[in-house]
Structure 1
Amino acid sequence: MTPWSENYKFPTWDDCEAVKDKADILPDMIHVPFEEAVQDVILEGWEDDWVAKALYTGPRLEEPKIDFVYNWVNGSQKEFTKTMRPYEVNSTLNDEQGEWLESHSSNRYREWDELRYSMRSVEKYAGNFTNRIQILVNAFQNEDPADNEKYTVGKQRPHWLKPDHEQVQVLSQEEFFGPAEKQCLPSFDSLTIENQLYNTKSETDRLFALSDDMILGKQHSASDLFSPLFGPTMGFKDNAYNTLKPPTEEDAERFGEKPFLIYTSWLLNRRFGARKRRGQVHFGHSMSRSIAREAITSFPRPAMRSAAQRFRGETGFQLYSWFVIFHYTIERHREALIWSYIMLRSDSNDDGYLDWHERRRMLRELSEGMGNETPELWRERQFFQVPEHLEKAGLEPPRVNTEILWTSLDGPHVIKDLDCDAFDTEDCLAPGFSIPTSDATASSPVFSSATIFDRIARQNPRCGDCLIKLILNRRRSGLEPLLPSARRKPEQRKTVIKALMKFQYTIVAPDAAFFMVTDAEQATHVLLKPYLRNHRKVGQMCLNDDVVLTDVDDLKRLRAVMSELFEGLLPEPSSFEV
């Protein structure tokens, strides 16, 4: 981590232009081999039984520690607004009429003192598993009044925060952005900052990323966010994206986050195959720094171009961190299963070719899976058993996000309601796959294990989904039918187990409420009355600033309502406050 220094100077415009030039020669995407991806994974001995059989046989586990990481800005600070002004004026978003310049920052950077209360909620409802709190802030210029060319740099800090609390770090962007990415600082774009979160340093890989307008409303356990058995919890909206062609200027002008979802959907389709992928819920996001690093850096040019944006929407598109991290995790878990079955288990002699003997075994396994697709032989649903599994491992089950919809231990989420009655090996795997004479006299390139892997993993994802579902139907629980032999291929199996543990996940319907706050009357009706006066409880709440009021008295009334709400819900000061 770069030591903070008041002698720091912001990069020049030319420095940032050089980063953009560098980005243009980078590839759109790269593929990280699983052998490389799992180098940071250490197995403790119980993971094989867990992945293969859905059976926990290990010792009592310690509750995980999780960092809470905030992206925070005090837009009311004069030094901040003065520092930002030249970048606003020179932004491509600045129009001749000055409308964007006049309006864009009114609610994006407004300070309601939400962070104070959000941190109170973390200490009150998640303090027993909080490792540290990191607050990511902007730097600002302190000009020398005698010489406008000279200045020192300070970093924003909440005025109420204790200066030496050992559990809290205040990090300016310069302290965690990558070496090339920091050449375009300062940034005032939350997407740009979020794409660099994985660079924050900590004793734990796990973090919960949230904004200051998000508060906890009920007591949480660590497994509400992450557990060693089931990975991070993920929540999704109903809206889904499946971008099949390069996004257009019309897409760039869509409302809110849609341009970034559309763009990132296009990248994910190119990397993992086309499918609908749902947008993430608007609350905090549980993530792994190592997975986030792999997910973001797997798209080198889009990631670098995103880092060069100082304001959201300057080029229309950016890599959307949460969307790419969530779906990268899900897709890599699925990809590991297909890689394991095709490249390692089925290619028993590791020659890169599926001969008739190997194909015949696959056909028998697929046939057995098809025969088992009846209600009385259906697989056990591990997502119904999450609390029991966690308690067996000595871990506290979820207390808030208790509506669990799926776990990766059940297979890829896409197989949940998938109809595979029409699965055809000739169409899905290779022409002539089920015919012994297809390669009786000479090898056929269509039976290359790498060719078949790419075909069902990326080119035709539905075929890969059905293959996984049918093969898993051979066992009541666990992922064993897709794994290489523990006796004949122990090292390959260990790599697969590491990958499946690293990229595991749990999909939940989170106990969360999202509100677009507009004015005092609305805030009183949807917030004060139900949550304070009628004592309604919700696990997690996001209060998004959608205020367009300009009248001073109207803003005062709204501020009074929000203050009453926050003080009513969280009246006790935290240990972080002066």
Structure 2
Amino acid sequence: MNDDFFIVRPMTASDFHSDLLGPVLKVQEDLKVTGKENARVGEEGEWAALDWAAWTLGQRHPSVNKGLEYLTHLPKVLTVPHLHEISITFKDALLASSSRKFREQKTSGPDLEIAFLATHYIRQRHREALLYSYVVARSGGTWGSRERADLVALGVDGWSGKVGDGLVQRSGLAGEGVVEFLEKAGEEEMMATEISFSSFAGVPKIPFPSPMPKPLKLDQCLGSWWTSEDSEEEIDAVWLFRRLAFEEYYCGDLLLTAILNLTPEPGLTSLLPRPNSFFQPPPIVDDDDASPQRPHIYDVPHLPLTRTWEEADFTLETLFPSWTDLPPEGVNLLDWTLRLLGRYRYTMGSSPSHFTSIRSLASMNQLKRLMEGRPEMALLAVNDDIPAYTKEKQRKQMGEQLRQWGEERWPGREAWELSD
């Protein structure tokens, strides 16, 4: 999506999206959006739509209720598969929003800012997939003595830090690492974007609330199972996943951060199912009831597309019912999980940019001086905010100045431009 923008310096598609790293999400960490169920219908501007989008996402992913970063006023990349998922997951919210013909209409349902929702949806689905990979897929559905021993060996209990600490550097995607990564994959080099995080690193830092180092207390995060005197006690992995992903979500984020910082294994290996991990769906009792085709969730990996997390069934048995051409060894959990994480891959970064508002002739002069003083700028947003009381003569003068500036900066006609 592109809104009143000029690209004022050479850039490539990789500055916005690459097949390898996914979309480049650009957020503004000093401006928080907090979800509100009773969004202000008909309010001027975009904030009512942002508030309701955040609230809608928070019903499925409660970790966003602490606040979400505002999106910078830059072009946004939206993908059809993710939009399709959103249309299924939040169909009621989208239906209510679609009943509105105009942004500030004071009747019908509240607005919903789809670009904001889609951007943060990708982040939350990747976080959910990481936790599901570690807690459920890696264990096969039950936590017991092996999982306890792994945590003890790493020294996770009591680890102190902030969510996302040290993960970008550990991933090798900081600085020139991104350039090398894209080059090896045969992708275009980024020309005006600096990457601050990649989903290959794990979980990003969270700005809200203000991050402070906290010790990881497994007795609080994992409940009575961790403090049980019976070292052989087992618990349901799906129960634990729901607890870490949705109920005690800060525990989930900090646990992932601690494991990735403490493990000697490269990348996300310590969170993935072990090689040759297979899930064997329940046997087919009646051949007449068996599905002849693989379940859609196997071919297009995703977790349940429910409006709220409470109504979702995350059991492996539900995700993978038996089908007639199921391989004898069952479902390869490592293969499926890698494809699941790949579906929601993304990066976070920034490009030199500026947002300006044209309100008077003085605004145009300021714009010209700004462009002369910032040759590194890559993206420029120019909002037409000329007041309604502005005289027609002044309007024409501002329009002429803007046209003249454009012709000076981009003389001649490009091959893709229509002729007069």
Return the TM-score normalized by structure 1. Answer: 0.56
Name 2:394's counterpart in structure 1.
554
Aligned to 2:381, which of 536, 542, 548?
542
Name 1:455's counterpart in structure 2.
243
Deviation at 1:463, TM superposition (A): 0.7
Please give the residue correspondences for 1:454-493 in structure 2 after superposition, counting only pairs within 5 Å: 454-473=242-261, 474-475=263-264, 477-489=266-278, 491-493=332-334
The question of whether the paired residues in 1 share the 8 Å contact of 2:96 and 2:109 is answered with: no
The question of whether the paired residues in 2 share the 8 Å contact of 1:369 and 1:472 is answered with: no
Report the 3-state secondary structure (helix = DSSP H, G, I; strand = E; otherwise coil) of the residue aligned with 1:278: strand
Report the 3-state secondary structure (helix = DSSP H, G, I; strand = E; otherwise coil) of the residue aligned with 1:379: helix
**1:284-342 superposed Cα distances (whole Å, 9 cap, x missing partner):** 11222111221343211111111121100324722211111111101111111100011
Deviation at 1:438, TM superposition (A): 8.3
Please give the residue correspondences for 1:350-499 in structure 2 after superposition, counting only pairs within 5 Å: 350=140, 352-354=141-143, 356-364=144-152, 367=155, 379-384=170-175, 385-401=177-193, 403-414=194-205, 421-437=214-230, 447-473=235-261, 474-475=263-264, 477-489=266-278, 491-499=332-340
**1:488-542 superposed Cα distances (whole Å, 9 cap, x missing partner):** 33721111111211211111122221111112221122x22332x6684521111
Deviation at 1:574, TM superposition (A): 2.3
**1:145-178 superposed Cα distances (whole Å, 9 cap, x missing partner):** xxxxxxxxxxxxxxxxxxxxxxxxxxxxxxxxxx
The question of whether the paired residues in 2 share the 8 Å contact of 1:379 and 1:476 is answered with: no
Cα distance in 2 between the residues matched to 1:511 and 1:365: 44
Cα distance in 2 between the residues matched to 1:545 and 1:236: 23
Structure 1 pair 235/225, CA: closer, same or farther in 2 (3 Å)? same
Structure 2 letter corresponding to 1:266: W
The question of whether the paired residues in 1 share the 8 Å contact of 2:42 and 2:103 is answered with: no
Please give the residue correspondences for 1:3-402 in structure 2 after superposition, counting only pairs within 5 Å: 209-211=1-3, 213-237=4-28, 238-243=30-35, 246-247=37-38, 251-252=40-41, 256-273=45-62, 274-314=65-105, 315=108, 317-345=110-138, 347=139, 350=140, 352-354=141-143, 356-364=144-152, 367=155, 379-384=170-175, 385-401=177-193
**1:461-512 superposed Cα distances (whole Å, 9 cap, x missing partner):** 1111011111212136411000001223372111111121121111112222
Cα distance in 2 between the residues matched to 1:518 and 1:419: 41
The question of whether the paired residues in 2 share the 8 Å contact of 1:517 and 1:545 is answered with: yes
Report the 3-state secondary structure (helix = DSSP H, G, I; strand = E; otherwise coil) of the residue aligned with 2:74: coil
Report the 3-state secondary structure (helix = DSSP H, G, I; strand = E; otherwise coil) of the residue aligned with 1:513: strand
Structure 1 pair 519/365, CA: closer, same or farther in 2 (3 Å)? farther
The question of whether the paired residues in 1 share the 8 Å contact of 2:34 and 2:67 is answered with: yes
Structure 1 pair 394/438, CA: closer, same or farther in 2 (3 Å)? closer
Report the 3-state secondary structure (helix = DSSP H, G, I; strand = E; otherwise coil) of the residue aligned with 2:45: coil
**1:383-416 superposed Cα distances (whole Å, 9 cap, x missing partner):** 3311121122233321011x22111111111379
Report the 3-state secondary structure (helix = DSSP H, G, I; strand = E; otherwise coil) of the residue aligned with 2:127: helix
Query: Which consecutive residues of structure 1, in runs of 5 or more, have no partner in the other structure?
Result: 1-208
* Alignment of 1:564 onto 2:357: no
Query: Which consecutive residues of structure 2, in runs of 5 or more, have no partner in the other structure?
Result: 279-330
Report the 3-state secondary structure (helix = DSSP H, G, I; strand = E; otherwise coil) of the residue aligned with 1:496: helix
Q: Larger deviation: 381-390 or 461-470? A: 381-390
The question of whether the paired residues in 2 share the 8 Å contact of 1:269 and 1:275 is answered with: no
Deviation at 1:372, TM superposition (A): 10
Deviation at 1:343, TM superposition (A): 0.6
Structure 1 letter corresponding to 2:112: L
**1:433-456 superposed Cα distances (whole Å, 9 cap, x missing partner):** 24243885xx7xxx3211111111
Structure 1 pair 247/328, CA: closer, same or farther in 2 (3 Å)? same
Structure 1 pair 477/359, CA: closer, same or farther in 2 (3 Å)? closer
Cα distance in 2 between the residues matched to 1:560 and 1:418: 48
Cα distance in 1 between the residues matched to 2:43 and 2:150: 47
The question of whether the paired residues in 1 share the 8 Å contact of 2:52 and 2:112 is answered with: yes
The question of whether the paired residues in 2 share the 8 Å contact of 1:296 and 1:321 is answered with: no
Cα distance in 2 between the residues matched to 1:253 and 1:568: 40
Cα distance in 2 between the residues matched to 1:320 and 1:455: 29
Cα distance in 2 between the residues matched to 1:572 and 1:369: 64
Structure 2 letter corresponding to 1:367: G
Structure 1 letter corresponding to 2:360: D
Name 1:528's counterpart in structure 2.
368
Deviation at 1:226, TM superposition (A): 1.2
**1:71-103 superposed Cα distances (whole Å, 9 cap, x missing partner):** xxxxxxxxxxxxxxxxxxxxxxxxxxxxxxxxx
The question of whether the paired residues in 1 share the 8 Å contact of 2:137 and 2:333 is answered with: yes
Structure 1 pair 426/537, CA: closer, same or farther in 2 (3 Å)? closer
Report the 3-state secondary structure (helix = DSSP H, G, I; strand = E; otherwise coil) of the residue aligned with 2:174: helix
The question of whether the paired residues in 1 share the 8 Å contact of 2:158 and 2:216 is answered with: no
The question of whether the paired residues in 2 share the 8 Å contact of 1:239 and 1:278 is answered with: yes
Structure 1 pair 259/372, CA: closer, same or farther in 2 (3 Å)? closer
**1:28-59 superposed Cα distances (whole Å, 9 cap, x missing partner):** xxxxxxxxxxxxxxxxxxxxxxxxxxxxxxxx
Aligned to 1:511, which of 325, 328, 352?
352
Cα distance in 2 between the residues matched to 1:436 and 1:265: 42
Identity %: 24
Structure 2 letter corresponding to 1:461: Y
Name 1:39's counterpart in structure 2.
none
